[in-house]
Amino acid sequence: MYSSQFSHTTSNQNICGSSVYNDEIFPMSISIPHTIPAITVIFGVKKGIWGISQMILEAKLCSEGCQSCNENQCFDQYLYFFTLNWENVVNSSEGWLTNNVIQTSVITYLQARYLETYGNHLINEIKLNHHQAISLQVKVLVYNSNPTQINIAIDDIIVSTIQYTGGWINYPNGFGYRSIKIFNIHQYPHIHSQAKITISLILSKNNPSLLLFFAIRDFQLFLKSSLFEFICKDYNLVPFDGCFSQIFDCTEGCSNCIRGTCLDCKTGWEYNELEKICIPICGDSLITHFEECDDGNNVPYDGCHLCKYSCPYNCKTCQFGNCLECNVNYSLSLNKKQCLPFCDDTINVFYEIFDDQTQLDRNLKCQQSCQLECKLCINNTCYQCNDGWQLQNNQCHQICGDGLIAINSIELCDDGNFNEIDGCYQCLFECIPYCFFCSDQNTCLICQEFFTLVDNSCIPICGDGIVINSLEDCEDGNDLPYDGCYQCKLSCIENCELCQLGGCEKCNLGYQIKDNFCQKVIEEEIQNQDFNDEFKSIEFCGDGIIQNNESCDDFNLFNLDGCSSTCKVENQWNCKSIDNTSYCYPQTLYKIFYLNNTQSIEYVLLSFTNKLIFNNIIENYTKEITYKIDNLSSNQYELTIFQVSNIEDFDLLDLSFIFKIKFFHSFNFQPNLRVSFKDDLIDLNYFPIVNNEQKISLQQPRVLTKSQIQTAFNLKSLSFWM
């Protein structure tokens, strides 16, 4: 079945790390037709060191209830007699003879049991039930290395022969030469109550001392039932009604049936579970069964209605849905689908409306006096309005609060009441605060002036110079700290301990208010030198000066701002010293979030809490990412990384990644994805990001195997009659 040559001299891999020879992995895949119950797989190598791993054997099984099949269909026969299919012994009652002597000796070859004989034949006479044909298959094992001929006879008539002069396998250590041949005889005509089966060999040997013998296993004999057991009679010659010419047949529209009973329908048909029949689907644009047409809708007077040809309105003569001649005062449209009224001030005609646009066009053209919102206008009088409009005194009115949305009006919603703060008020959506236009009460599309949309909320634009009352304290047009206004909130100036409305009332120790700033006390201004020496020797936390036992000092004694009240750098913060003063920033972290999944594919997002400094040395940031999925090998999934980045001013990089993970197999657990970076990345404050490995639990993969997909396909497409 498979043969190839390999050499360590041509291999470019050395998996085992030997200094003497290279080695390599070669995948092999073989697909063969096979119908007997057991299979023998032999790997043979003439020279070299070798081995196998990850061997997978898949079999395409017969459908449920079927005893004999090939890859395309189920055969109308059943298993009647067998030898060494699943059992390991042969009973004398099975009747295998050599020279009229019962044979029951069983040998083991390649972990399989065989019925052996040292003669050149095996004969079995088997009594049969009523039938019209027989099928048999058998596996024959031969010990020989010379030209060999194997014959299969039924009632002493040879029905199959195999001759071969090679192909046997030489086993070392005195086990000799052996070959295996498989016979498959399908539905041989036979009606007798008994069948004589003969398996015989014609062979020779070079060494008279060697024993020549053969053995069999997986012998199966099938009977094809008599035709008269499964005929049908419906006393008509109508095809596709379940029985035709006394043979079971599928009904109209059925794609899979058994003995006239439908199991599944073709495309364009709907299965009636109760009656087991297929009914054509009218309106699916497919013409089936007795349908004359199918235009995909149920609109009358458009040429096809309820899957039957229909005449357009005001058509006098039509054929196959096309109008040939219109009534008086009507003219035929170019597509022959409509009869349009003549526009004449002296003639008032009835015009059936097909859609709103047609009504609009006809009103404009013929200058009828009905409103555009009128759906049915007769003699300039409206009798029916468009959806959502109310007809009152032959006029169409939009009524807010009636629970109906009037199309082509200013109404965006109508909840049937006039209550505020319920999502719809005065037939307009109640948007979120400061939203100018929204698609519904929860989704804002455009914010009001001086506001910007962030996470579906409208917040003031900080830095535009416009102060929004109750939302912003101040606006100084910049984002600098310690200038009295920071992020549109009043803030203390640098080195100020107590401030009111942006003005400093008390400076930190060692500073004094001067020109609205807190300036450091000059040494010469301290009169008492002894006090000055004592003052300098005291280390003050919060004075903005980093002393020996301080890791930071940011002019205050507040916590949660990066530098604690004890002048220690807080967790998940970075601080740097400028002129011996600390400036602290939140650490830049990266996190992973689960997005969604589609069948066997799952998506994960990796993003950073801050922007990064663009590094032109790194050509592809995806190559800096390392990842793994716990307890899975790389051939069990495929992971693709998509980089999403935007370079802003000053080379700031807004970076994120999307992971696309495709699983090849199903698992009974939730895999864990681990992600980290090879090299340090730098954030906008020139600190390296915290490169801690991140982990996230994925959804449990559910993937159909090839055999499951094939089995599902077979169950759907299987159709046979008996």
246-291: pLDDT as tens digits: 777 788 888 887 777 888 888 888 898 888 889 898 888 888 878 8
Helix (H) or strand (E) holding 534: helix 529-537
Of 70-84, 85-99, 144-158, 473-487, give the lowest mean pLDDT range: 473-487
* Domain total in the chain: 5
Instruction: Give yes or no: residues 266 and 216 share one domain.
Output: no
Q: Is 194 inside any structural domain?
A: yes
Do the beta carbons of residue 336 and residue 323 sit within 8 Å? yes
H or E segment to which residue 215 belongs: strand 214-224
Q: Are residues 597 and 689 in the same domain?
A: yes
Stated pTM of the model = 0.36
**In CATH, what number is assigned to the domain containing residue 599?**
2.60.40
CA angle centred on 78, ends 75 and 84, rounded to 5°: 115
Residue 159 in contact with residue 153, Cβ under 8 Å?
yes
Burial class from Cβ neighbours inside 10 Å (0-12, 13-18, 19+) for residue 40 reads: middle
**Beta strand residue intervals within 84-132, DSSP E:** 97-98, 101-102, 106-109, 112-117, 121-127
115 and 213 assigned to the same domain? yes
Q: Residue 63 and residue 616: Cα distance in Å, rounded?
A: 61
Please indicate, yes or no, whether residues 516 and 565 belong to a single structural domain of this protein. Answer: yes
Measured between its terminal Cα atoms, the distance across the chain in Å is 35
User: Does 356 map to a domain?
Assistant: no
At 222, the pLDDT band (50, 70, 90 cuts) reads: very high
Tell me the mean pLDDT in the region 532-560.
74
- Give the angle subtended at the CA of 16 by the CAs of 14 and 19, to the nearest 5°: 70
Instruction: Name the residue with higher pLDDT: 702 or 369.
Output: 702
Partnered with residue 148 across adjacent β-strands are 164, 203
Burial of 640 (0-12, 13-18, 19+ CB in 10 A): exposed
Mark which of 240, 263, 280 sits at the end of a domain: 280
CB 701 within 8 A of CB 599: no
DSSP H or E segment with residue 716? helix 706-717
Q: Which residues pair with 254 in a beta bridge?
A: 265
421: left (phi over 0), alpha (psi -120 to 50) or beta: left
* 574 and 605 part of one domain: no
End-of-domain residue from the set 526, 553, 585: 585
Q: Is residue 348 very low, low, confident or very high in pLDDT (cuts 50, 70, 90)?
A: very low
SS3 705: coil
Q: Are residues 493 and 603 in the same domain?
A: no
Whether residue 294 is contained in a domain is answered as: no
Chain-centroid distance, C-alpha 58: 24
Q: Are residues 211 and 84 in the same domain?
A: yes
Q: Could you tell me if residue 2 is inside a domain?
A: no
Asked if residues 76 and 224 have their Cβ atoms less than 8 Å apart, the reply is yes
- For residue 187, give the H/E element and its range: strand 176-189
Residue 210 has pLDDT above 80, yes or no: no
- Which residues sit opposite 582 in a β-bridge? 577
The DSSP secondary-structure symbol of 623 reads: G
Cβ pair 112, 40 in contact under 8 A: yes
pLDDT at 466 over 70: yes
Torsion sign (Cα): 204, 205, 211, 212:
negative
pLDDT for 155 equals 94
pLDDT tens column, 102-112: 998 898 887 88
- In a domain, residue 684? The reply is yes
Say which CATH number the domain at 104 has.
2.60.120.200
Q: Which residues contact 622 (CB under 8 A, 6 or more apart)?
A: 641, 642, 643, 657
C-alpha closest to that of 135 among 59, 72, 225: 225
Same domain flag for 491 and 626 = no
pLDDT for residue 509 is more than 50: yes
Query: Are residues 218 and 91 part of one domain?
Result: yes
Beta strands in 579-699 (DSSP E): 581-586, 590-598, 601-608, 612-613, 625-629, 637-647, 652-663, 672-677, 694-697
Is residue 544 exposed (0-12), middle (13-18) or buried (19+ Cβ within 10 Å)?
buried
Highest mean pLDDT among 5-9, 48-52, 319-323: 319-323
Mean pLDDT over residues 569-598, rounded?
84
pLDDT greater than 70 at residue 38: yes
Specify the long-range contacts of residues 395-399, CB closer than 8 Å, at least 24 apart: 395/371, 396/371, 398/373
Query: Which residues fall within 8 angstroms of residue 456, CB to CB, at 6 or more apart?
Result: 432, 442, 443, 444
Residue 388 lies in a domain: no
* Alpha helices (H) in 137-213, listed in sequence order: none
**Mean per-residue pLDDT over the chain, rounded:** 79
The most confident of 217-221, 354-358, 453-457, 610-614, by mean pLDDT:
217-221
Same domain, 223 and 240: no
3-state secondary structure 463-483: CCCCCCCCCCCCCCCCCCCCC
What's phi and psi for 504, nearest 5 deg?
-80, 130
Is the pLDDT higher at 367 or at 47?
Answer: 47
Q: Is residue 106 a contact partner of residue 114, using CB atoms and an 8 Å limit? A: yes
Residues 192 and 248 in one domain: no
- Predicted confidence band at 590 (pLDDT cuts at 50, 70, 90)? confident
Whether residues 188 and 261 share a domain: the answer is: no
pLDDT of residue 363: 42
* 191: containing domain: 78-228
Per-residue pLDDT reduced to its tens digit, 363-412 = 444 545 677 788 777 667 888 888 888 888 888 888 888 888 887 777 88
Helix H segments across 292-440? 356-366
Mean pLDDT over residues 309-335, rounded?
83
Give the chain's length: 722
35 within some domain: no
Residue 568's pLDDT band (cuts 50, 70, 90): very high
The residue out of 540, 561, 585 marking a domain boundary is 585
- The DSSP call for residue 14 is B
The residue-averaged pLDDT of 691-719 equals: 69
The DSSP string of 220-261 is: EEEEEPPGGGS----SS--TTEEEETTEEEEETTEEEEETTE
Burial (CB count <10 Å: 0-12, 13-18, 19+), residue 499: middle
132-178 pLDDT, tens digit per residue, is 899 999 999 988 777 889 999 999 999 999 988 877 777 665 556 78
Does 395 fall in a domain?
A: no
